[in-house]
Amino acid sequence: MNIRVVDLAQFTNGDEAQKKAFVAQLGKAYEDVGFVAVKNHGIPKELIADLYKHVQQFFSLPLEQKRKYEIPELAGQRGYTSFGKEHAKGSDAPDLKEFFQYGQTVPIDHPLKPEYPDNVKVKEVAGFDDTIFNSYRAFEKSGKSLLQAIAIYLSLDENYFDNYVEQGNSIVRAIHYPPITHEPKSAIRAEQHEDINLITLLVGASAGGLEILTKANEWVGVTSLPDQIVVNVGDMLQRLTNNKLKSTTHRVVNPPRVLWHTSRFSIPFFLHPKSAMNLSCLADCIDEGHPKLYQDITAGEYLDERLREIGLKK
């Protein structure tokens, strides 16, 4: 499925007409499908290449070395999570992946510091820490611009989301789906799910496998070009907009048998707001035809609820 391609440069560097056209294209795609491919996204391709290189080096380390970076009390929000620990909401089957997460960094005296554990430093892979930090900041910048366009589409102030996502609780997740070594019980590597956050930015996975569930209840593969990133709506944004914007169900399927011997790497950036953000449905998204669908909740409360549902938090 070729999802709609939008050009972020139209919004960040274009004239008023180009900016207006971008907002309309993005908003319509998020109402209809919940996914877009973004070109001219502002994340340097050299940085993306370095990020994938270092991530692959990390996952190539022996398991006993990777497990030194697994800290159970952090509920997977920092450092390494070993194979088969996470499952989709509503599923008991573990996803066939291991992953490493890197979160927000703020000064030691920042009011939010108690909410953000220190990131786990990787000693064995030179350049890993600097590269993932620089990637995090690049993702943040692009995500902030996309949210500004979404705010305009929702008839909010363009900078409505800015204060919520600056020093927000966003996460870079580096995922490794190892080679398949025996007949799998299922064709699924990561069970169907929706993302928790506001929006997710995905820089090209090293192999195919991503599928989304269409309105016709059919699974279709999603493709994008190497110079594009895929950006989808998460449950927090769907909740905030009372289902006006669509958090689309998606999954990762196993490759063809001839490619079972290969790994798949994927690096999404889950853009979260500060935990205090109120996710109560926007008044403009509620009317007689669209009654309020969700109870009031903060982003922090919702994240905590979902981490328990997917098995990362007890």
pLDDT at 151: 98
Who's near 38: CB < 8 A, 6+ residues apart?
Answer: 5, 6, 7, 8, 142, 146, 201, 228, 229, 230, 231
Side chain identity at residue 223, one-letter code: T
pLDDT at 93: 67
What is d(CA 246, CA 291) in angstroms, rounded to the nearest whole number? 16
What is d(CA 142, CA 6) in angstroms, rounded to the nearest whole number? 13
What is d(CA 193, CA 292) in angstroms, rounded to the nearest whole number? 23
Q: pLDDT tens, 91-149?
A: 666 778 899 999 999 999 999 999 999 999 999 999 999 999 999 999 999 999 999 99
Q: pLDDT tens, 239-270?
A: 999 999 999 999 988 888 888 888 889 999 99
pLDDT at 203: 87
- Of 240, 230, 250, the C-alpha closest to 197 is 240
Query: Right CATH number for 5-309 from 3.40.50.2000, 3.40.50.11030, 2.60.120.330, 2.30.30.100?
Result: 2.60.120.330
Query: Is this model's pTM higher than 0.75 or not?
Result: yes
What is d(CA 229, CA 232) in angstroms, rounded to the nearest whole number? 10
pLDDT of residue 2 exceeding 70: no
Q: pLDDT tens, 44-91?
A: 999 999 999 999 999 999 999 999 999 988 888 999 999 877 776 766
What is d(CA 87, CA 97) in angstroms, rounded to the nearest whole number? 10
Report domain extents, the chain. 5-309
3-state secondary structure of 161: coil
Q: pLDDT tens, 148-207?
A: 999 999 999 999 999 999 999 999 999 999 988 877 777 677 788 899 999 999 987 656
DSSP per position, 121-157: PPSSSTTHHHHHHHHHHHHHHHHHHHHHHHHHHTTS-
303: which 2 tokens?
């994240």
262: which 2 tokens?
């290969």
pLDDT of residue 222 exceeding 90: no
* Inter-CA distances, 38 with 5, 138, 304, Å: 6, 14, 30
